[in-house]
Structure formats: C-alpha cells, structure tokens
Amino acid sequence: MKVKKYIAPSMPEALDKVRTEFGEEAVILSSKEIYTGGFLGLFKKRNIEVVAAIEPQTTKSNPIEKKKRSKPTSQFKPKMIEQESDKQQQIVLEELRSLRKWMEKTSDDTEQSFPVAFQSIKELLISHEVEDKLADQVIANVLEQGNQQDLTLEEAKQAVEKYLIELFTEFNCGAFDYQKKFIHLVGPTGVGKTTTIAKLAANSMIKDNKKVALITTDTYRIAAIEQLKTYSNILDIPLEIAYTMEDYQKARLKFQEYDLVFVDTAGRNFRDPKYIAELGKVVDLEHEIETYLVLSLTTKARDLTTLFNQFKAIPLKKLIFTKSDETASYGAALNLVYRQQIGIGYLTHGQNVPDDISEARPTLLANLLMKPNDDHV
C-alpha cells in the first residue's frame, strides 16, 4: 500500500493532486487545516493537509484508461473501499482501517505532534495558560528553524526562550519612552491603576528627575481619590480632581509646564462611546496623550481578551500587568501580545511605592514562561 501526504491552499486543489498521482481509486485517510510560512509566527497562510493511500496493484494500471472507463463527474470523489469476500481485499481493508485510526490519533493526540523535549515545553506553556494553538505555533516555528529535532530538553528550552525573546522584542516590550506629556492609565476596577500610577510617578521623579503632576477623573470611588491624595502628599507632587470635562481641561492647562502628567481614570468611562467622544473633543487621543491599559495577571486568560476589546476603541500604546506576585501563570501576557500585536511596558508585584514594579523586558517575560508552574504540577 502506498501512502502520501499532500498540502494545498484548498480541499479541491488537494484532492486534484491526489487524483493526478493516485487516480480515482485513492482513499482519503485524513484531512486537516495547517498554517505555514509567516514571520515569527505571524501572518501564516492557511492550507489543507490531506493524507491519501492506494493499494499498490492499483498504481500499476493506466490512469488514462481508468479515466476513460469512469463516468464523468464534476468533482473528484475518492472511492471508498467496500468489504468483499476476496481474502486479499479483506486484508487490505483491515490494514487501511488500522492506518486511518493511527492517522486520526496522530492528528488529535498532541503528545505525538512534536519531539519529546518540545512536547514537554508545550505542556509547560499550556500550564501557564498559553492558548493551545498558540503553543503549537510557537513550538512549530522553533522546529522550522532547522536542526532542532534531536535537542535535549535544556537545549530545546533555550531555543524556545530565544524565540520568545525575539517575539516580545518584535512588539516593543519594555519600559515607556514617554513621548507625550499626558499619560492616561485605563483599565477595569480593582486591577491596581492608582497604585501603579504612584509607582510610575515616583520612579519618573527619582530616576529620571522629571517634574511630575497627577490628575484623577475616577470620581466614582471616594477611596481611589483618597488613595491618590495620600500618594501625592507622600511624593510632594500636585494633584487635581476632575469631576467634569471642564475640570479636566483646566487641570491640563494648569500643568502645562510639567514634564509628565499622570491621569488616573475610571474604567467604566472608557467603555462608554459617548465619554470617549466627549474626551476626543477636549484632547487629541491619538497625538496629545499616551494611553496604557492596566490588566491583572490573576484574571482568567479568556476574560483578558474581552477586557482588551472593551478598551481598544481608544489608541492603546502598551499594556501594564499587575499582581504578577499573585499568580504562577504568565501565559496571558503572551496571548495578548501575540493576538493583539501590542507590547507590555511593566509588571507590578506588590503594593510598595515606588518599588514592586519591573520593566517588562523581553528576557524577563520569556524567562517567566520557561519557569515551572507550581500550580499545575
């Protein structure tokens, strides 16, 4: 029996390749979608992979004669083998059944998809809540680089970590460069925006010697205002509370001479198209400010995409992930970077100001994903 794999942009084209080589007697063992090409795992092309088989005796006959004898059809349909009394045909049938079961198991069983070392790394990535398909793409992209099949586990880890560093670098992960004066932090309630603003403001003063001011538009929560007042007193920097759009505009004018102005916002506002439209009349969201989305790493991976979509109506520069000390899973960071093509600026890991914040360097992010996840041992 002869078995061969065919790859084509569509099923009709794949079946046409099968017909050309095997004739009308071919049996389709399996078919699935695959993605090939691209750069760093991005922009891959969708193809169809078909595995076909044919009994050796069939290949000896003249395909042209078979075509003449067969009834004309508008579309190629592989012929299904039927049970016959002939003993040889029964053997072939059983062999094809076994082969098809094996092919189906290979397609579904991820444990047989990659070499053992890389399969272990895929399981590690999934334990960090990296999406299954994304984990497959990462491993496949590393293997496509050549001479990777026989690596030890440690060598395979180094190869995957190197690829992840390149990926995070491609999306410009790392500290903010503060190209604009006004810095907005947006995000859902409870992720730690206010504390994060205090950390960024303090570090800008201490490390970069910047003249810094604060504005809060989060007037829904009294606790948030009091918390920011406390930080402004400790850091000895001015704070303005904006209850209306006019208040916000006045505060902007008041701090026009400052190097950086950090703005704490109410998450619910930025999910309201009317609010965004009103804010757009006061300030050019694209050119006058930089907006960073603050999310928590303790949020379920699938929920993070929903939250991201709620805020993407405004131009987002980068992400900030909080509460990295409260989880052992870091796959959410890779999922969003890869799917949304956006970088990460910082990770926070506690309440201490100005400490407990780290630049999201590509090497740090890749290293976190290569660490064992104790929660899933």
Within 13 Å of residue 303, how many CA atoms lie on the same side as its CB? 7
Candidate CATH numbers 3.40.50.300, 1.20.200.10, 3.10.25.10, 3.40.50.2300; the one for domain 182-360: 3.40.50.300
73, 95, 189, 312, 322 from 269: Cα distances, Å: 61, 64, 11, 13, 21
Neighbours of 12 (CB within 10 A): 11
Within 13 Å of residue 7, how many CA atoms lie on the same side as its CB? 8
As given in the structure block, the two tokens for residue 10 are 């569509």
**How far apart (Å, rounded) are the C-alpha atoms in residues 138 and 266?**
36
Q: State the pTM of this model.
A: 0.67
Convert 34-56 to b/e letters by CB count within 10 Å (16 or more is b): eeeeeeebeeeeebbbbbbbbbe
CB 212 within 8 A of CB 261: yes
Neighbours of 213 (CB within 10 A): 24
Domain boundaries, the chain: 2-108, 182-360
Q: Each residue's pLDDT tens digit in the chain (377 positions)?
A: 677 888 888 877 888 888 888 887 777 777 777 777 665 556 567 788 888 888 765 444 444 444 444 444 445 555 444 444 566 666 566 656 655 555 554 554 444 468 888 888 999 999 999 999 999 999 999 988 876 667 888 888 999 999 999 999 999 999 888 888 999 998 888 888 889 999 999 999 988 899 999 998 877 677 778 888 999 999 999 999 988 888 989 999 999 999 999 998 876 666 667 777 777 766 667 778 899 999 999 988 888 888 898 888 788 899 999 999 998 889 988 999 999 999 999 999 988 888 899 999 999 999 999 988 765 43
28, 123, 160, 194 from 136: Cα distances, Å: 25, 10, 12, 37
Largest CA distance in the chain: 94
